[in-house]
Amino acid sequence: MKRIPYGLHCLDENDIREVVKVLKSNWITQGPKIPRFEKALCEYTGAKYAVAVSSGTAALHIAALASGLKHGDEAITSPITFVASANCILYAGAKPVFADVQEDTININPEEIKKKVNRKTKAVIPVHFAGQPCNLGEVRDIAKKHGLIIIEDASHALGAEYRGSKIGSCEYSDMATFSFHPVKHITTGEGGVVLTNREDLYKKLLMLRNHGITKETGNKKDAWYYEQRLLGFNYRITDFQCALGLSQLRKLDRFVEARRKIAEFYNESLSGIRGLALPCEYSEVKSSWHIYCVQLEDSVVRKRVFDYLRKKGIGIQVHYIPVHLQPYYRKNFGYKAGDYPKAERYYKRTITLPIYPRLKSLELNYVVKAVKEALR
């Protein structure tokens, strides 16, 4: 059996043809595919505006800046996420504060957010862990009450739904960001996007993507004229990446369906095994199953199972080391073990099984058999 990774992109000949077409044209960077990809993302999610950028991290960075986060402010995110969800708060000069997770979904717990809100709190950055939307209704109520901006780090949740609305629609938030890294639902190589329904944020995001520059000025007669109004970046995505994104987006629903099928297969084949807890899915949401995370009895069993599966050539992973326990966060903010007990308990016991559209049933059976062997 070839080594099985935990996640893998899914490209076909058509994707490759679309990229090559752009490479043979005169527009390889700022061409027509970028606005087309943005429009398609709006149509898919239901959001009004989209700003495609060079990575999911860049999307979080400009979203944090557009929200007005600055030195002296605090923003709240989940401890169980990729470091980028918290780093973007630091890029804006604000302080990252964490709110512990719910034990069942591993999503940020609204009750814990309430405990962390104070006068300095300006934003909440919920993460839809593993593809399952968090309790956006509750998060919105808290944000309304305290005047907070909501930026959804929706990197795991393209194609997911919350109470019948697509994640990315920003029905419950000010902005939502996605990543198009190859392990995510669709890929552009590196890439990301910020979605919003607010025109004021959209205009800021456009400038932040391109050095803080705008051509929409009072000066209409000098065609060369532009103004830099903010300190922005070069976070532009290329036209050939967007050609790939457009081609991938057409297959998104099929990809999500394939992931769901695999999750169902695991749910069935691995149910009722002592010492193995499977992920749950709430009835008010539709998960997009970015990752499939199970929990074992304790850290000793986890280590044994992890090593066994790796030895068997299965690219098992752990999502995630709690962000507050990273040396950088410990050193600069004094976070320590014990600060977020639910997150830490989860971290000690979890492993991520492979899930991606191209996984074959032969490979799936191999994984299930190996997990059972490891637990015997």
Residues at the interface with ligand PLP (CB under 6 A): 55-57, 81-82, 84-85, 127, 153, 155-156, 179, 181, 192
Q: C-beta of 216: minimal distance to ligand PLP in Å? A: 28
Of the two residues 237 and 270, which places its CB atom closer to ligand PLP in the complex?
A: 237
Distance CA 186, CA 341 (A): 33
- Tokens 């149910």, located at residue: 271
Q: C-beta of 313: minimal distance to ligand PLP in Å? A: 24
Report the candidate in 339, 295, 313, 296 with the shortest Cα–Cα distance to residue 99: 339
Distance CA 209, CA 61 (A): 10
Q: C-beta of 273: minimal distance to ligand PLP in Å? A: 28
> 203 with 55: CB under 8 angstroms?
no
Q: How far is CA 11 from CA 199, 286, 361, in A?
A: 34, 24, 19
Q: Which residue is nearest to ligand PLP (CB)?
A: 56
Of the two residues 56 and 110, which places its CB atom closer to ligand PLP in the complex?
A: 56
> 88 with 64: CB under 8 angstroms?
yes
Q: C-beta of 171: minimal distance to ligand PLP in Å? A: 20
Of the two residues 321 and 368, which places its CB atom closer to ligand PLP in the complex?
A: 321
What are 140's two structure tokens? Answer: 């919105």
Q: C-beta of 193: minimal distance to ligand PLP in Å? A: 10
Q: C-beta of 228: minimal distance to ligand PLP in Å? A: 25
Of the two residues 57 and 295, which places its CB atom closer to ligand PLP in the complex?
A: 57
Distance CA 128, CA 367 (A): 26
Of the two residues 156 and 251, which places its CB atom closer to ligand PLP in the complex?
A: 156
What are 241's two structure tokens? Answer: 């990446």
Burial class of residue 214 in the structure, from the number of CB atoms within 10 Å of its CB (0-12 exposed, 13-18 middle, 19+ buried): middle
Cβ contacts of residue 222 below 8 Å, gap of 6+?
A: none
Of the two residues 140 and 290, which places its CB atom closer to ligand PLP in the complex?
A: 290
